[in-house]
Structure 1
Amino acid sequence: MEEKKKPEIHFSLIESMIIMVIMFVILGTMIIGMRMSPQIPILFVFTLLMFYGHFRKVSWEDIFNGITEGITPGIIPVLIFLMIGLLVSSWLASGTIATIMVIGFKILSVKFFLPTVFIICGIVGITVGSSFTTVSTMGIAFMGIGHILGFSNALTAGAIVSGALLGNNLSPLSDTSNLTTGLTKVNLYKHLFNMARTIAPSAIIALALYFVMGNASHTADLSRINEISNSLEHSFAVSGWSLLPILVLLLLAWRQVPAIPSLLLGTITALILVIVRDPAYGVTRISALLMNGNIAKTPSHTVNELMTGGGITNMLGSVSLIIVALALGGLLIKFGVVHTLIDSIKPYVNSPGKLILFTEMSGAGVNLMVGEQYLSIILPGTTFKSSYDRLGLDRKYLSRTLATGGADINALVPWGVSGIFFSGTLNVDALQYIPMAFYTYINPIMTVLAGFTFVTWRYRKNLAKAGSVQALIQDSGEMDEEDKAKALKALPIK
């Protein structure tokens, strides 16, 4: 007789809460308290959870399936990480980054440096639709400029990350915008317009903070700036032609070409410039450049530090962190810990303000547990969509909350995909830049505040106008007939 497969174990609410408390205590103690690199603490928690799951009679097959399912969503981000390693090394060698820095030295005011970084990264983010691309291109250049101008790396990185995520939130090309609108069936431009309602005040507050911090923290030595600028011009190909890779990247973004081919074409363009300027730059040197990154050898020690980096090798630490974080997240999902905790919240969401608050908290919780921004959008989105429908609350508020609870908060998690990438690319410890990335936590707070104020007021006004929740549901533009039937059926019988 064929043996029946044992059912998958789903841990209870109490058990799930105990697991999460233990996990955060261990990670907090080792990463924050002991200042350890996140890989080992996460791997330690992963090991404990894996053996505990097997002790609870979860088969090794199910455990390995959970690990595989957890890592699978990270395959494309891992490839993007590696492509960005290629892009950065080639842009450093071709003079693209040096050209941006020299131009920046000439046109940027020390007084307005941080606000300018925030605004420019926001504009580039809207154009290319990717916070990763913005950080790995303009961000690298701004880090060098900020270092020379006397700003702390953490403060400059905070402004870069804030601007990049602002652009990501407002871009019609953004993967997170398209994911949230596809999941909630909300029109993309309706979603972006609604996002702008909380982004505008968040951006103004962040801009004011960067202006104040910029005035209080700079110690620029203008003679040193001129010296560094001259060294860059003498040691690298600083010219208009070196900006060609940027133009190629912007053109591809406008044509809505996906990230991986765009990054590869941006790299190829930069390599062509390198070869044209130095025909002796053969296949072996190009291979070494792409693998190990650019190694600057100039008379200036500062320039060497600024212009050395990139390459696949330098991205492997971030890649390993993503893999172990997603593997841990895969186990938490396979054991039902994530779903159990999110489902336990649903009975308390009986008003627009509470619903938006708990959706935001769920996105943040998934980010902390799993570290993957797509799952932090998908899991709360699928869980709470029916709750928005039952209230008759416009799904555009769900899509906005998913975007802020997913993409924005992911950058605030040291073991999150975005947090790992930003930290590794900008070479700044995540715990240092996070307090300075003002926009990334102001915007989620604004989203929740709007839920308890403007959204609640608007909902009550619409409810009074419609006369009943049933009428609100029937008038919904986002729900199809099947969703409306489910929402109406779920209403309490009066």
Structure 2
Amino acid sequence: MEEKEPEIQFTLVESVLIMVIMFAILGGMIIGLEMAPQVPILFVFTLLMFYGRLRKVTWDQVFDGIVEGIKPGIIPIMIFLMIGLLVSSWLRSGTIATIMVIGFHILSAQFFLPTVFIICCLIGITVGSAFTTISTMGIAFMGIGHILGFSDAVTAGAIVSGAFFGNNMSPLSDTSNLTTGLAKVNLYDHLKNMGATAIPSAMIALILFFIVGQSSGTANLAQIQLISQHLQQNFTVSAWSLLPILVLLLMAWRQVPAIPTLLVGSLTALIMIIVETPGYRVASVGDLLMNGNDAKTSSATVNRLMSGGGINNMLGSVSLIIVALALGGLLIKFGVVHTLINSIKQYVNAPGKLILLTMLSGIGVNFLVGEQYLSIILPGTTFMSSYDRLGLNRKYLTRTLASGGADVNALVPWGVSGVFVAGTLGVNPLDYVPLAFYAYIDPLVTILFGFTVVTWKYRRQRKTAVTTPTELAPQVAKDHR
């Protein structure tokens, strides 16, 4: 896949200034003034749009950039809305309550965070979607963690870390299939190579969660028992309530796409609600799906934990995605992203440097554009020829794209994944990001491997190629591609 040159190209100086000013404004308004990200991003978008007009960019080109920028977010936006339906129906049907009651009986405060991380890893590998893992098991674990005395931020960090490890290592993952399809690498070769960095990163994260978990929990056993009783009295807590989870796993195993999977999972829960609640009206179903579940029990804690979901509660996240992608669309249309990435290609002359620059490009696109697919596609198409020119196997490209694209997107407050985590789990991105250990350990380990293991293998291959008889050299070169 060849990289398409943008119609408009700002100079390198312009591009760097735009990037510096943009991050200064966003940092000052979001972190310094603690404003919601939508307004600062919209402000930067406005400045960039009119600057483009001063540079003789036509309105048609501006609008084309906006449309092209938002296009990659259409499917994630629909997934967000479907997850709003799923969460509201699972809360009302007792599915989340059942998971929480089971969790209270089998989870201890001492091992809570490591257990959450491991379970989210396994669910993520099974369903192939970090979003699905976070919006199902993640919701339940947030409630359990709150009762066990853990901060929402540290619980969210464990959930996000496990979900994104599972996303990286699953053959059903959209990002795994995107990276391998882009670079034309065998999926299972990619996953095997991905495991070389992802598994050590996960082990480090697991140790850190164990250490953090030793001092974070302040569980009150009497309160846990009381909450468990309230859940069983007010919701259907039984094996029957786990049916939507089984349906979701079955759909994932059959590799059904996310949107129909989420819809069927929601429909299963709605059927259970209607069966369990005679006289439940169609209007009530509509209100549940639109406005979310509104728990009304005698416990304020249970009411807070079991209320949420619905389309309306996802619209804030959707609006943030739209304005962030619109800004990213202008940055791409004006050639800012293209200019910045291509300005560093000249420094590529060794495997370690190439992997580092690919990673930095993915991180940069994540922060500039906020979209994980573009953070994979843009660096992938830009640096693919550099990997071929060095004779470096493209599986190292796909691993770097997965780390710098999918993982880092969860750390960007205005990124699609960061917005999703904040909206679904109800936690400020600036609070959970420092505790999402896997999401930044994996990119660091990938870079470290690039300068050590990959470089060593590359030099060994080059030495073998040089000492190979002439008649065998073409075959060796072919094997190294």
Q: Is the 8 A contact 2:91 2:307 kept in 1?
A: yes
1:406-425 equivalences under 5 Å are 406-425=405-424
Mapped contact 1:392–1:476 kept (Cα < 8 A): no
Q: 1:51-93 deviations in whole A, cap 9, x for unaligned?
A: 0001100000000000000000000000000000000000000
Aligned equivalents of 2:321, 2:156: Cα separation in 1: 20
Give the whole-Å Cα distance in 2 for the aligned partners of 1:246 and 1:41: 39
How far apart in 2 are the matches of 1:286 and 1:472?
66
Q: 1:483 — aligned with what? A: none
- After superposition, the C-alpha distances for 1:75-113 in whole angstroms (9 at most, x for unaligned) are 000000000000000000000000000000000111000
- Check 1:175–1:217 CA distance in 2 against 1; reply closer, same or farther (3 A cut): same
Q: 1:478 to 1:45 in 2, by over 3 A?
A: farther
Q: Report the equivalent of 2:131.
A: 132
Please state how far the C-alpha of 1:474 moved relative to its aligned partner. 6.6
User: Match for 1:366: what amino acid?
Assistant: V
CA distance in 2, matches of 1:374, 1:200: 23
CA contact (8 A) 1:392 1:472 kept: no
1:152 equivalent in alignment to 2:154: no
Q: Distance in 2 between matches of 1:294 and 1:473?
A: 63
What is residue 299 of structure 1 aligned with on the other side? 298
Q: Summarize deviations over 1:277-328 as a string: whole Å, max 9, x none.
A: 0121111000000000000000000000000000000000000000000000
Pairing of 1:50-449 with structure 2 (within 5 A): 50-449=49-448
Please tell me the residue identity of whatever aligns with 2:340.
Answer: L
Question: Any conservation in 2 of the 1:96–1:242 contact (CA below 8 Å)?
Answer: yes
Q: What is the alpha-carbon distance in structure 1 between the residues aligned to residue 188 and residue 8 of structure 2?
A: 42
Q: Which amino acid aligns with 2:57?
A: V
**What does residue range 7-22 of structure 1 map to in structure 2 within 5 Å?**
8-22=7-21
User: Superposition RMSD on alpha carbons, in Å?
Assistant: 1.4
2:199 maps to amino acid:
A
SS for the counterpart of 2:154 is helix
The structure-2 alpha-carbon separation of the partners of 1:252 and 1:35, relative to structure 1 and needing over 3 Å to count, comes to: same
Q: TM-score, normalised by structure 1?
A: 0.94
Distance (whole Å) between structure 1 residues aligned to residue 339 and residue 299 of structure 2:
57
Aligned to 2:460: 461
Cα distance per residue 1:331-358 (max 9 Å; x no partner): 0000000000000010001000000000
- Could you tell me which residue of structure 1 aligns to residue 3 of structure 2? none
- Per the TM alignment, residue 472 of structure 1 is displaced from its structure 2 partner at its CA by 7.8
Amino acid at match of 1:357: L
The alpha-carbon deviation at position 468 of structure 1 amounts to 8.4
Total equivalences in the alignment: 473
Distance (whole Å) between structure 2 residues aligned to residue 216 and residue 277 of structure 1: 42
Quote how far apart the aligned CAs of 1:475 are.
3.0
The 3 A distance-change label for structure 1 pair 478 and 424 is: farther
Residues 269, 22 of structure 1: CA spacing in aligned structure 2 closer, same or farther, 3 A cutoff? same
- Structure 1 residue 8: Cα displacement: 3.8
* 2:474 corresponds to 1:475: no
Unaligned runs of 5+ in 1: 1-6, 480-494
CA contact (8 A) 2:109 2:218 kept: no
* Alignment check: 8 A CA contact 2:461 2:480 kept: no
Alpha-carbon distance change, 25 to 298 in structure 1, aligned in 2, over 3 angstroms: same
Shift >6 Å, 4+ stretches: none
- Give 3-state SS (helix, strand or coil) of 2:301's partner: helix
User: 1:473, CA displacement in angstroms?
Assistant: 9.3
Distance in 1, Cα, partners of 2:90 & 2:383: 44
Asked if 1 retains the 8 angstrom alpha-carbon contact of 2:120 and 2:162, the reply is: yes
User: Percent identity, aligned pairs only?
Assistant: 72
Does the CA contact (< 8 Å) of 2:116 and 2:141 recur in 1? yes
Deviation at 1:9, TM superposition (A): 2.8
Query: What letter matches 2:150 in structure 1?
Result: F
Q: How far did 1:477 drift?
A: 5.2
User: Which one-letter code corresponds to 1:376 in the other structure?
Assistant: S
Output the TM-score relative to the length of structure 2. 0.97
Determine the C-alpha separation between the residues in 2 that align with 1:10 and 1:325. Answer: 21
> For residues 230 and 238 of structure 2, what CA distance do their matches in structure 1 show?
14
Quote the Cα distance in structure 2 between the aligned partners of 1:180 and 1:422. Answer: 23
Residue 57 of structure 2 aligns to a residue whose secondary structure is coil
Q: AA paired with 2:151?
A: S
Instruction: Kindly indicate whether the alpha-carbon contact (under 8 Å) linking 2:465 and 2:476 is maintained by their aligned counterparts in 1.
Output: no
Contact 1:395–1:478 under 8 Å retained in 2 = no
Aligned 8 A contact 1:414 1:420 in 2 = yes
Match of 1:475, as an amino acid? A
Q: CA deviation at 1:33?
A: 1.0
Aligned twin of 1:4: none
Q: Which amino acid aligns with 2:103?
A: G
Structure 1 counterpart of 2:477, one-letter code: D
Cα distance in 2 between the residues matched to 1:142 and 1:455: 38
Q: 1:468 to 1:379 in 2, by over 3 A?
A: farther
Change (3 A) 1:465 1:300: same
Cα distance between partner residues in 2 of 1:131 and 1:79: 15
